[in-house]
Amino acid sequence: MGSLMSSAQEGWVLDAGNTRIKLAIFRDDKVAQVLTDEAAEKHGRRALDKKQLPEQMLIAASGELTPFWNEWSKLCTRNQTDTIQLFHLNTAEGFDLDSSYESMGTLGLDRAANARAVLSEDSDSNWLIIDVGTCITTDWVESGTFTGGSIAPGIDLRLRSMYAGTANLPYPENWRELAAEGVGLHLGTNTIESLLAGAIGGANAELQQRVEAFHTEFGDFRVALTGGDAECLELRTRYPIFADSNLTWKGFHLILKDLVQKH
């Protein structure tokens, strides 16, 4: 194949999660582009063809890699000359992250990345991290230490489970568009609106109550909000919310930089 030249100041993070494969491209330590599935593979193939690979790459694989990315990792091992520094992680063990969590080997990589990101943002504060994606995770970081949290069904999973578990309830394919239009979170006047009030409004109420419960138990803290469906919520808390849709990517990029520094 010949020498694979790196493109300057560029790093990639490939997230192989439970539902989709996503590729984040960093330039000068900032997220420049996020591609999913076929678009990510097309970008990777073009980079191979043009011999314009990034300097470093992290594959965070909690799910299965596609044949293309499996072949990519074989072609681009970090022991080869003139190729990228490639790191492949499928466990959070060994992360540069203080933790009292009992099973780091089974901790979702995205949860670890979120913790790494908020500590980079403010290591002096305690954090409650809320990630609204396929699942809704809430994680607690206290005195710089990741201590654990909770995992609940995400909004889409709630809607799909009602559809799968009943005879007559539909699955609203366009629920995100309806949510963006401002469908009420608490009072539905038809079946679709009632489903959204239950799934979105229920998740919203659940998270607001969880924030209050953490305040009662732990005192003051900062709230970090991220995840693809976080924009559907209308959280109102006594604490300022640090919202960043790229929080997980930033955490993965920091982990990549940690690994590069160690090697």
pLDDT mean over 175-188: 87
Torsion sign (Cα): 245, 247, 252, 256: positive
What pLDDT, in 10s, does the model give residues 208-230? 999 999 999 999 999 999 999 99
> Is residue 74 domain-shared with residue 168, that is, in the same domain?
no
pTM: 0.90
- Domain membership of residue 14 (yes or no) is yes
**Pair (140, 240) in one structural domain:** yes
Q: Are residues 139 and 226 in the same domain?
A: yes
Which CATH number fits the domain that encloses residue 158?
3.30.420.40
List the beta bridge partners of residue 24.
Answer: 13, 34
Whether 110 is catalytic: yes
At residue 189's C-alpha, the angle toward residues 185 and 191, to 5°, is: 90
Q: Per residue in 117-154, pLDDT tens?
A: 999 999 999 999 999 999 999 999 999 999 999 999 99
Edge to edge, what strands does the sheet with 30-36 contain? 30-36, 21-27, 5-16, 52-61, 85-89
Q: How confident is the model at residue 167 (pLDDT cuts 50, 70, 90)?
A: very high
Tokens of 100: 């009292």
- Is residue 41 domain-shared with residue 146, that is, in the same domain? no
Highest mean pLDDT among 63-67, 80-84, 166-170: 166-170
**According to the model, what pLDDT value does residue 82 have?**
54
**Does residue 257 lie within any of the structural domains?**
no
Q: Are residues 144 and 218 in the same domain?
A: yes
Catalytic residue among 110, 131, 139, 229: 110
Q: How far is CA 236 from CA 137, 180, 205, 239, 242, in A?
A: 18, 18, 10, 8, 12
Higher-confidence position of 69 and 5: 69
76 lies in the same domain as 135: no
Residue with the larger pLDDT of the pair 80 and 168: 168
| Average pLDDT value for residue range 52-63 | 86
Let me know if residue 108 belongs to a domain. Answer: no
Q: How many domains does one find in the chain?
A: 2
Domain interval for residue 21: 5-90
226 neighbors 250 (Cβ within 8 angstroms): no
Query: Is the residue at 114 inside a domain?
Result: no
* Orientation angle between helical segments 37-50 and 67-75, nearest 10 degrees: 30
